[in-house]
Amino acid sequence: MENFILILLCLVLGYAIQKFHIFSEDAPKTLNQFVIFVSLPAMILLQVPKLTFSHELFIPIVIAWIVMAVTAVLTLLLSRFFGFNKEITGSLMLVSILTNSSFLGIPIINAYMGQSALPYIMIYDQFGTFIAFALYGTFIVSYYSHKGEMSLKIIFFKIITFPPFIALILALSLMGVEFDPDITKVLATLANTIVPVALVAVGLQLQLRLTRDELAPFSISLFIKLIVAPLVAILVVKFFGWSSEATKVAILEAGMSPMITAGAMASMTGLAPKLSSAIVGYGILFSFITTNILFKFL
């Protein structure tokens, strides 16, 4: 319950600060830069080295990657069909694909299914969403945020110099290493700033009234993320004939709201910042309803 309260409080706080002009106009960009350059690398270095692979936990990984692949292709096709510009397309390729599998996934699924679901949540998050964010997310930002012609050399340089990617490579090389308790505490403190800082930044840019041009990408993004993604997960489960707690967790994870840090990344790199924040903010609120309906269906 405290996570839900924190989410709503930070969104409202950011929106109030925006309306009363308490922070400077570049505050959202500064907060998003803090998340990308400090909070997220700390989270990666804290969590990734703890991971171990188990064949018994393979189902959430398969579902996570199939869902992201299908929704990415669908998002790209719809963006081209509707003629969205490069910035909006880049934004949708982030927030319509990457799911809020940990901060919302953990409390919501735990409330529905209990503590036994937690290992599957972490596998979906770490081996699915988390790695996709660092690799796929970095590529999308590198490609769509570049104003001129894009070459493989430029994309490669942007990827290898992007802080979350550097942190991921370092963290993977440290798998199995147990950090000193003091280092762990420092990383945990920095990592815990992700959600409040990113959500306040979302609130600072949140628009209750979207322009007519933004309504189409806004609606398409949330439809793909909250409706299509879990339906794809259900079809995958039916195709393989899977029926277990892990499959239910994966379906619920697929239907979570857009990832907060994906919205922060889009905003920081100029990929339709206000639209990205609106999709994340409203997506969080709508997902409380859609995940409840989805769980009852399961």
Lowest mean pLDDT among 14-28, 195-209, 227-241: 195-209
SS (H, E, C) 181-233: HHHHHHHHHHHCCHHHHHHHHHHHHCCCCCCHHHHHHHHHHHHHHHHHHHHHH
pLDDT at 147: 64
Q: CB 292: neighbour CB atoms within 10 A?
A: 13
**246, 88 in Cβ contact below 8 A?**
no
> Residue 119: which pLDDT band, with cuts at 50, 70 and 90?
confident
Report the pLDDT value the prediction gives residue 254, as an integer from 0 to 100: 96
**Contact residues for 58 (Cβ-Cβ < 8 A; gap 6+):** none
Predicted confidence at residue 228, as pLDDT, reads 97
Do the beta carbons of residue 246 and residue 57 sit within 8 Å?
A: yes
pLDDT number for residue 150:
59
Which band of pLDDT confidence, cut at 50, 70 and 90, is reported for residue 247?
very high
Whole-number pLDDT of residue 148: 58
What pLDDT is stored for residue 160 in this prediction? 81
How far, in Å, CA of 217 to CA of 84, rounded?
Answer: 8
Question: Which residues share a beta bridge with 258?
Answer: 99
Of 7-16, 53-62, 282-291, least confident by mean pLDDT is 53-62
Burial 37-55 (b: 16+ CB within 10 A, else e): ebbbbbbbbbbbbebeeee
Checking if the pLDDT of 225 tops 90, the result is yes
Query: Of 136, 133, 139, 134, which is closest to residue 167 (Cα–Cα)?
Result: 134
* The predicted structure's pLDDT at residue 196: 87
Please determine, for residue 236, whether its predicted confidence score (pLDDT) is greater than 80.
yes
**Helix, coil or strand: residue 258:** strand
pLDDT at 55: 67
Domains of the chain: residue spans and CATH: 2-6+29-297 (1.20.1530)
